[in-house]
Amino acid sequence: MSVKRLFALTRAGIMESLQFRLGIFVTLFANLIYLVLVYFLWKAIYDSAGTDVVNGMTFTDTMIYLILATALFNFLEMFVVWDMSRSIQSGKIILDLLKPMNYRRYTFWSYSGSHVVQFLLTFIPTFIVVMIITHGAIHMGLNLILFILSTVLALIVNFSMEMIVATICLYTESTWGINIVKETIVLLLSGASIPLAFFPEAARKVVDYLPFRAVYDIPLTILLQKNGSTELSGLLPMLGLQVIWCLILYIAGTLFWNYSVRKITVNGG
């Protein structure tokens, strides 16, 4: 597979996303409103608490964490599960499998274009707004580069999880149910709905080793320079965890997918 062909898919994806021009502006606007909601809620929560720091998180930390988690969520969002279930129901899946390109790789690169657009149109503006309201609370240094690196790893982990869930759809028609279970678990255990720092100690110990943390919590912790991520000794375990989960999920996903596809082709759909 030549790199040129993969980038052609990215380019097509960018153009496709740009087609929906009003949709883009609406998305941008809706994100800003969401940001306002998070701001007010947590401001009230911290005001009621009476202290400035709760579990090592200040109001600014929490707000940045949650807003950027949402921005990351929008940026990482894929509809692989829905696409898959629709193409299974219409029978298009057979055509997809016959394409001269690995289906999973094809899906990944087709989505890359919309990732690029989402990054530029939702993540960057959100980031700028956050910088303005917090008067530059995010440190601008090496952590940004590490954050981007960590986000790419997060993207791969997220895609692998999506793909595994999508593969389950080959067995059952219950797309809605499977998707909501996945979304709920990921949102809760990745720190997207409430920072993992607020979890009880015992729960943290478990959550720390699960793959969900690799999607939102680790990139954001690195960006906010928490948990000793400024030191190599704090940073390496986090990035290491991401890499390990990337490998595990990728391999597990590939095996599961290949096994399932073989099963369909044998049973003839």
Partner 1 sequence: MENAIVMKNVCKDFKVLNRHEGLKGSIRDLFSRDYKTVSAVKDVSLEIAKGEIIGYLGPNGAGKSTTIKMMTGVLEPTSGEILVNGVVPYKERTKNSENIGVVFGQRSQLWWSLPLIESFKLLRDIYMVDKKDYEDMIELYRSLVDIEPILHKPVRQMSLGQRTLSDILAAFLHNPAIVFLDEPTIGLDVSMKDKIRSLIRGLNSEKNTTVILTTHDMGDVDALCKRIVIIDKGSKIYDNDIEHLKSYFGNYRTLKMRLSDDNWVEEVIDESKQDIMKIIMERQKEQKIKDLKLEEISTEEVIKKIYEGASK
Partner 2 sequence: MSTNTVSRKRGLSFYARIYKKILIQDLKSKMSYRADFIISTIGMIMTNLSGFVTFLILFRNFPSINGWDYHHMLFLYGFSLVALTPVQCFFDNNWNLRFQVQSGDFIKYCFRPINVFFYFMSEVFDVKGLGQLAFGVGTLVYAWYHIGMEVTVLRICLLILFLITASLFMIAIMNFAAATCFWIVGSGYVMVIMFRFKDFAKYPASIFSGIFKVIFTFIIPIAFVAYYPSLAVLDPCEAPVLSWCAPLLGILFFWLSYKFWMLGVRKYDFTGS
Nearer to partner 2, 74 or 227 (CB): 74
Contact call for residue 116 and partner 1 (CB under 8 A): no
Distance between CA atoms of residues 151 and 145, nearest Å = 10
Give the interface size with partner 2 as a residue count (CB under 8 A): 43
Asked if 196 and 217 touch (Cβ cutoff 8 Å), the reply is: yes
DSSP state of 119: I
| Of residues 14 and 131, the one with the C-beta less far from partner 1 | 14
- Amino acid at position 193, single letter: S
Cβ-based nearer residue to partner 1, 18 or 137: 18
Q: Which of 1, 5, 7, 15 touches partner 1 (CB under 8 A)?
A: 15
Question: Near partner 1 by CB under 8 A, which window of 1-9, 18-26, 139-147, 165-173?
Answer: 18-26
Binding residue for partner 1 (CB under 8 A) from 19, 48, 51, 267? Answer: 19
Examine residue 120 and tell whether it contacts partner 2 (CB under 8 A): no
Pick one of partner 2, partner 1, none as the site partner of residue 152 (Cβ within 5 to 8 A by kind).
none
Interface with partner 1: number of residues (CB under 8 A): 7
* Interface of this chain with partner 2, residues 143 to 202, rule: CB under 8 A: 172-174, 176-181, 184-185, 187-188, 193-194, 198-200
CB 253 within 8 A of CB 167: yes
Tell me the C-alpha to C-alpha distance, in Å, between residue 163 and each of 69, 79, 150, 171, 250.
21, 10, 20, 14, 9
Task: Give whichever of 24 and 170 is closer to partner 1, judged by the CB atom.
Answer: 24
Q: Which stretch binds partner 1 (CB under 8 A): 14-22, 27-35, 92-100, 255-263?
A: 14-22
Minimum distance of partner 2 from residue 13's CB (angstroms): 13
Q: Tell me the C-alpha to C-alpha distance, in Å, between residue 162 and each of 46, 155, 182, 204, 230.
A: 35, 10, 8, 24, 31
- Interatomic CA distance for residues 37 and 12, integer angstroms: 34
Residues 67-96 that bind partner 2 (CB under 8 A): 74
Instruction: State how far the Cα of 206 lies from the Cα of 219, in Å rounded to an integer.
Output: 19
- In this structure, the number of other CB atoms found within 10 A of the CB of residue 70 comes to 20
Q: How far is the CB of 32 from partner 1 (least distance, A)?
A: 18
Give the CA distances from residue 50 to residues 43, 44, 77, 134, 137, in Å, rounded to whole numbers and listed in that order.
Answer: 11, 10, 36, 20, 21
Cβ-contact 64, 130 below 8 angstroms: yes
In the bound state with partner 2, the residue whose beta carbon lies nearer, of 82 and 106, is 82
Evaluate whether 130 touches 67 at the Cβ level (below 8 Å): yes
Give the footprint of partner 1 on this chain (CB under 8 A): 11, 14-15, 18-19, 21, 24
Give the footprint of partner 2 on this chain (CB under 8 A): 19-20, 22-24, 26-27, 30-31, 33-34, 36-37, 40-41, 43-49, 54-55, 74, 172-174, 176-181, 184-185, 187-188, 193-194, 198-200
